[in-house]
């Protein structure tokens, strides 16, 4: 049995596929591909596959991760990738298939890029600089137990921040994985409260899933 990990892209119209729907969608991808995927045992056998991280509705991604097993040791990884790509919906594409190296628990952060579109780009740009100079960035996070105030400043890493004609294009890293997950929209909300300048976040894209030492998770 091959224990595999696929990295896939989700963009264009596919960004409107919710996480729940993605599950069903992949089940049908596997069935259409006729790959000998490994089924769970028990009363209601179904193909086993699991996604490393959920992606918010409306986000694009070039680095989604899905684990699955193939009941065939002879197949090449390229063949598996190509057979899946042949039956993927528009906007979804398997970038690579490789054997699983690390445990899912090794995931520590995720990197996101996005554009903040505004009439007042310099204002937004200054606000970004300003908020990152603060010692704490408090946000309200909804949890199962109610609303909690969290400081995201210690875990937030700025990767890049550029100003264009009508937007501020940035990339940031936030904690992700089985323990803590911060959605980049939390940062945007904090920024909105901080500066009071209207802006709209566009083209939100997950660009990397990383381990603690910023190494790419694989």
Tokens of 79: 């063949």
Considering only residues 3, 45, 162, 215, which one is a binding residue for other proteins as defined by CB under 8 A? 45
Rounded to 5, what percent of the chain is helix, strand, coil?
Answer: 30, 40, 35
57 contacts other proteins (rule: CB under 8 A): yes
Measured torsion, CA atoms of residues 167, 171, 177, 179, in degrees rounded to the nearest 10? -80
What count of residues does the chain have?
A: 218
17 contacts other proteins (rule: CB under 8 A): yes
30 contacts other proteins (rule: CB under 8 A): yes
* Residue 171 DSSP SS3: strand
23 contacts other proteins (rule: CB under 8 A): no
CB of 145 to other proteins, least distance (A): 26
Tokens of 54: 């959920």
Considering only residues 21, 82, 119, 215, which one is a binding residue for other proteins as defined by CB under 8 A? 21
Q: For residues 197 and 177, give the distance between their C-alpha atoms in angstroms, rounded to a whole number.
A: 32
Considering only residues 3, 39, 148, 162, which one is a binding residue for other proteins as defined by CB under 8 A? 39
Which chain residues interact with other proteins by CB under 8 A?
A: 12-14, 16-18, 21, 24-25, 27-32, 34, 39, 45, 57-58, 87, 89-91
């Amino acid at each position: 049995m091959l224990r595999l990990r696929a990295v896939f892209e989700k963009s264009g119209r596919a960004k409107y596929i919710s996480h729940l729907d993605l599950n069903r969608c992949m089940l049908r991808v596997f069935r259409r591909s006729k790959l000998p995927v490994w089924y769970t045992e028990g009363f209601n056998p179904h193909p086993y596959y699991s996604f490393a991280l959920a992606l918010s509705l409306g986000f694009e991604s070039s680095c989604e991760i899905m684990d699955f097993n193939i009941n065939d040791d002879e197949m090449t990884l390229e063949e598996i990738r190509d057979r899946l790509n042949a039956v993927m919906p528009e906007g979804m594409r398997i970038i690579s298939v490789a054997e699983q190296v690390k445990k899912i628990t090794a995931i520590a952060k995720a990197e996101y890029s996005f554009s903040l579109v505004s009439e007042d780009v310099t204002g937004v740009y200054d606000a970004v600089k300003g908020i990152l100079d603060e010692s704490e960035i408090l946000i309200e996070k909804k949890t199962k137990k109610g609303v909690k105030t969290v400081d995201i400043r210690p875990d937030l890493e700025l990767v890049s921040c550029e100003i264009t004609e009508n937007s501020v294009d940035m990339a940031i890293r936030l904690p992700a994985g089985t323990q803590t997950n911060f959605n980049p929209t939390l940062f945007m909300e904090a920024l909105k409260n901080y500066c009071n300048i209207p802006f709209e976040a566009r083209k939100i894209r997950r660009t990397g899933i990383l381990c603690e030492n910023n190494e790419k998770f694989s």
